[in-house]
Chain A
């Protein structure tokens, strides 16, 4: 009766940022790589994103941020997922991320950082090899 476990990924757009072409391209690529991708839609608050992650029981939360507010947003996300007791989820961030901010994001707990222009295959490979299954 046992079926194969499939990676479930939430692609979320937090905050004011109104550009989701990139997020949709990533979502499509992850789908084609065999993952089940939940898309949040635009303008989500962190509370909403965490709520979706709980109900959908995703393995991974991916934030797409183009506004430059990636550090405060990520900080708030980690605070919330700890509160909700789902800090076992892996978090990755994509969008407009200057390289000087990467160490800070890692320190906050982000596992993968994929600035605009990262080949999609790299993101896919990273998720497939990093997320613990089951």
Chain B
């Protein structure tokens, strides 16, 4: 395919177009991904997650500049939420990535999540494959930033950075399932804020007591806006990448992630193809009407809809 050839030759326009085709779910786009796939797998895919305003875009900006200095080619995918009203999105992450934009050979793409769960879009992994094919050596992915449930970002990344600030809450927040489980590296950002040192110490204690093996989750302090801590973060990312590529545990984590990713994508596709089949059909609308009128409970409605969509033999 011509488009694939151009991407492999480093043509940005073709890469950009191909990412759009994947976003639109065009067969042609998926076929191109399949053709590109054998040429990829070399890039270090890094996810950055954390609450809105924690400093994700700024950290990506600094990392991109740092990698640029090491002559590594960088790709960035910044995912922002799609509005539940009307399906539009405001994609504003580039505004905080202006130093990165100046790096030679950097490619930055914003993307709306379009309702996909887990802090990324359905097309994010496709876009990462395209950027890998385009020759990017480090691919930085910024998640939506909804916090505790951003599981999917870890499925598509080799390394995930969880960014916290001193107002993350307390140990109770860490003990809850979620945010912390998906990160390989924890960053306490905005060290200039009051209480940041205490918060960093609390978090470091928490992780020291967990004894995760063989990768012990490191806690890093940063003041990303000033560039403080960026070099250490880069060193740790390299170590983690080596761990994922070379260690038996790392390799098996990677395999498990791929399985989870395929299941997540499968769930999405299965759901949308079922919906296409039943939406607007009288029997389905009737079930909806009943539950909306309060005649049946929501679980009953789901079971009826399922029986209608996928009748048991």
Contact = CB atoms under 8 A, between A and B. Distances in A.
Interface residues of A, number: 32
B52 interface: no
A78 B92 CA distance: 24
A39 B95 contact: yes
Interface residues of B, number: 35
Given A40-B94, A57-B17, A5 B24 contact: yes
B269 A1 contact: yes
A39 B90 contact: yes
Given A1-B269, A3-B114, A56-B110, A32 B85 contact: yes
A85 interface: yes
B60 interface: no
B300 interface: no
A34 interface: yes
B85 A55 contact: no
A31 B94 contact: no
Given A1-B269, A40-B94, A55-B108, A34 B87 contact: yes
B90 A28 contact: yes
Contact of A31 (B12, B26, B88): B88
Task: Say whether chain B's binding surface is mostly helix, strand, loop, or mixed.
Answer: mixed
B271 to A, nearest CB: 12
Given A41-B95, A57-B16, A85-B13, A3 B90 contact: no
A27 interface: yes
B88 A55 contact: no
B25 interface: yes
A49 B85 CA distance: 29
B236 interface: no
Contact of B27 (A1, A31, A55): A1
Closest 6 CB pairs of A and B: A41-B95, A31-B88, A57-B16, A3-B25, A34-B86, A57-B20
Interface of A: 1-6, 8, 27-28, 30-41, 48, 51-52, 54-57, 84-86, 134
13 contacts: A6-B112, A31-B86, A32-B86, A32-B88, A38-B91, A39-B94, A41-B92, A52-B94, A52-B108, A56-B16, A56-B110, A57-B17, A134-B24
